[in-house]
Structure 1
Amino acid sequence: MTCSIKLDNISMRYGEKLALDDVSLEIPEGTIYGVLGPNGSGKTTMMKIILGLLKQTRGKANVCGYDSIKDPLEIKAISGYVPETPILYESMTPSELFSFIASIRRIDENTFRRRIDALIDAFGVSEYMNDFIGSLSFGNRQKIAIISAIMHDPKILIVDEGINGLDPRSAKLFKSILTDMRDHGKIIVFSTHILEIAESLCDHVAILYNGRIVANGTIEDLRSAANEPSQNLEEIFLKLTNAEDVPEVARYLRDEIEH
């Protein structure tokens, strides 16, 4: 079955605050789709709507043929989620957590053991498998969250700043895993503040600003939208989000501090 994500005129309101304002996009299978934007721009809200974790105020989200409001369980079954801050059962050990997830995901024992042994060895967490998750460092908890999200080989992986806290080797490994998943027809929706990662990893990028998509396309498309064919993604991002004055503000602050 062909899998894609399609958002049609999605809006999300929290009381008086409009977090998403008429967002439409389509993500085909075999794509790493970057979502960039300042804090509070609506990135996490959009990702949670795709996952069926939030019900939008208006519009429709279709994920691999499933409606995000009517079929949230079906979407969760084919998805994995790596949040910005790992949300894990801290009184469990990684070994217990992985077994629990395998039972929920209905992964047979042989497949589970083969996948989990490979993943814990690759991410270097074998020695922590019987420690309480709450006792682990942020970086190791992030590794546990990543393994938990990909162990069932999901069709869709949502990564919200998921590289935060990883050591360079693990970050490189995770990026390689994302590329391999893309090459096998999966959809990865990837939010990051590290623009160099987005530029090197993502096939398409959407820039969210005040709940609206201000640019959407390949890096070359975004350069054209910014009317600056030679600029890198950071410069394009600053221009499209009206933040070109950042260096000037920094110089002003330095002058004030020195005086």
Structure 2
Amino acid sequence: MIKIEGLSKHYGSKVGLKKLDLTIQKGEIFAFLGPNGAGKTTTIKMMVGLLRPTTGAITICDKDIVKETIDAKKYLAYVPDQPYLYDKLTGREFLEFVALMYKIPQSEAGEKIQNLVELFYSHEYIDRLTENYSHGMKQRIVFSAALIHDPRVLVVDEPMVGLDPKSAAIVKNVFKDQAAKGTTVFVSTHSLDVAEQIADRIGIIKHGEIIALGTLEELKQQVKKEARLEDIFLELTEEQSHS
């Protein structure tokens, strides 16, 4: 579970995030939407311990990400928008390295890695150096690395960037399967169709503040009409801009 209370981030005189309150339950897929510069990445970086909040607190499975960073990260997996791998390692070696960091016994690590290779259909390139991977290949390995320790919370920033349709379908199924197992899935995305298809709840952020929060049906009620998420998003963010 993710709990965010009074979260703010200031960059000098600039306010990146304004007292955000948000709770995301076990087994929930939450889509975090907003225009560029709205505060999505700032929020995510604080959630995963890469930025310190100016005010407020974030707990991951009841562990404070600032005060109990190591304990919180044991439950957490993060997939950034740009996958980073070590060029001179093969995909398999990279996964073995990640398993070692999480202190997964070698006897278990091999089976876990093989299961992930099968899940993401990475047989053809898993034993090649990652410097030769396409973006989609790298993304599949990064997702594999995120899942290797069976996280309770999965945080993903722009998961569909650069993915072919097959890879995108795999990732959407992974989100659903993880949520069914009780994993909390937090997805920041510009892909409104993806959010509409998989999210249990949706949050829309603008200028560092949540301007809409709820299920798709609840967002439709907020704009008082039956509409696709794309239309709801555009109406709400344009209203805020005009106001």
TM-score tier, shorter chain, comes to over 0.9
* Deviation >3 Å, runs of 4+: none
Q: Deviations over 1:18-50 (max 9, x none)?
A: 111111111110100000001111111111211
TM-score normalised to structure 1 length: 0.89
Q: Of residues 216, 232, 235 in structure 2, which corresponds to 1:236?
A: 232
Q: How far is the alpha carbon of 1:244 from its aligned partner?
A: 10
Q: Does 1:209 align with 2:206?
A: yes
CA contact (8 A) 2:59 2:72 kept: no
Q: Of residues 111, 116, 133 in structure 2, which corresponds to 1:114?
A: 111
1:185-196 equivalences in 2 (<5 Å):
185-196=182-193
CA 1:11–1:165: 2 relative to 1, 3 Å:
same
CA distance in 2: counterparts of 1:64 and 1:125, whole angstroms: 31
CA distance in 1: counterparts of 2:75 and 2:206, whole angstroms: 29
| Residue aligning to 1:159 | 156
Q: Does 1:150 align with 2:147?
A: yes
Q: How far is the alpha carbon of 1:185 from its aligned partner?
A: 1.0
CA distance in 2: counterparts of 1:58 and 1:236, whole angstroms: 31
CA distance in 2: counterparts of 1:18 and 1:50, whole angstroms: 17
The AA in structure 2 aligned to 1:191 is S
Q: How far is the alpha carbon of 1:121 from its aligned partner?
A: 2.6
CA contact (8 A) 1:207 1:214 kept: yes
Q: How far is the alpha carbon of 1:183 from its aligned partner?
A: 1.0
| Residue aligning to 1:252 | none
CA distance in 1: counterparts of 2:109 and 2:162, whole angstroms: 26
CA distance in 2: counterparts of 1:244 and 1:106, whole angstroms: 47
| Residue aligning to 1:62 | 59
Taking every aligned residue pair, what percent have the same amino acid on both sides?
A: 37
For structure 1, the residue ranges without an aligned partner over 5 or more in a row are: 246-259
Q: Does 1:131 align with 2:117?
A: no
Q: How far is the alpha carbon of 1:84 from its aligned partner?
A: 0.6
Q: How far is the alpha carbon of 1:132 from its aligned partner?
A: 2.0
For structure 2, the residue ranges without an aligned partner over 5 or more in a row are: none
| Residue aligning to 1:248 | none
SS at match of 2:100: helix
CA distance in 2: counterparts of 1:227 and 1:10, whole angstroms: 30
| Residue aligning to 1:253 | none
Q: How far is the alpha carbon of 1:243 from its aligned partner?
A: 6.7
- The alignment covers a number of residue pairs equal to 241
CA distance in 2: counterparts of 1:205 and 1:149, whole angstroms: 23
1:45-124 equivalences in 2 (<5 Å):
45-124=42-121
CA distance in 1: counterparts of 2:229 and 2:10, whole angstroms: 29
The AA in structure 2 aligned to 1:181 is Q
Q: Does 1:183 align with 2:184?
A: no
Q: CA RMSD in A?
A: 1.6
The AA in structure 1 aligned to 2:150 is D
CA distance in 2: counterparts of 1:180 and 1:129, whole angstroms: 23
Q: Does 1:225 align with 2:222?
A: yes
CA contact (8 A) 1:143 1:166 kept: no
CA distance in 2: counterparts of 1:122 and 1:190, whole angstroms: 20
